[in-house]
Amino acid sequence: MSITNFNINGLTNEQVIHAREKYGENKLNYKQENNVLDAIVKLAKEPMIILLFAAALIYLISGKTGDAIFLASAIIVVSIISLYQDSRSRNALQKLKKLSQPNCKVIRNGEVEEINSEEVVVGDSLMVEEGTSIIADGIIAHSNDFSVNESILTGESLSVFKDKDKEDNLIFKGTTVASGLAIATITHI
């Protein structure tokens, strides 16, 4: 299937740069991850840590300095291990976020290109086919036996058939292509 048959050339490189400056990137803004200082404050607010430090203080006041030092050092060791595990979990989550960014096919400069979904801009001609996830909202420019599972939006379990000539010619981010193929112009990221 030739792209030129549908007179869809997509954006030029200059138009992509302009659209990215004007509308931004197709990127989810995640909550800022906690840093080490936040993790230490969170750990210091733990009821069990407070209770154990109170017990160490009672040992110190009652003259059992050895027991107080042992308990305090055990708390510090456990806290360091906890901070280390928290750091590893944060790093693993960051790597998982990078893996979950799918690639997509767009038409740019008259050619089909496979790019990272974060690089899609408003105005791009997005190609979606059976089994792919739609990564941005758009209007269908061409379709062939195209249906979309919109259950994530509507709760309806049946696929919705869409065509550029129908009233229902929009695709939405987060939905999945159930059958067919479509080329859509991105309207929102």
Q: Are 177 and 148 contacting, i.e. CB atoms less than 8 angstroms apart?
A: yes
Q: What are phi and psi of 148, to 5 degrees?
A: -130, 140
Give the CA-trace dihedral at 9, 14, 17, 22, to 10 degrees: -90
User: pLDDT by residue for the chain (189 residues), tens digit each?
Assistant: 445 546 677 788 888 888 888 887 777 666 666 677 888 888 889 999 999 999 999 999 999 999 999 999 999 999 999 889 988 888 887 787 776 667 889 998 888 888 888 888 988 899 999 988 898 999 999 988 999 999 888 888 888 899 888 888 999 998 999 999 999 999 988
CA 26 to CA 177: how far, in whole Å?
A: 19
Structure-token pair, residue 139: 């209007």
Question: What pLDDT was estimated at residue 170?
Answer: 92
Question: What pLDDT was estimated at residue 39?
Answer: 83
Question: What pLDDT was estimated at residue 31?
Answer: 66
H helix runs in the chain, sequence order: 13-23, 36-44, 47-61, 65-99, 151-154
Helices (H) and strands (E) in the chain, counts: 5, 7
- For residue 56, the one-letter residue type is A
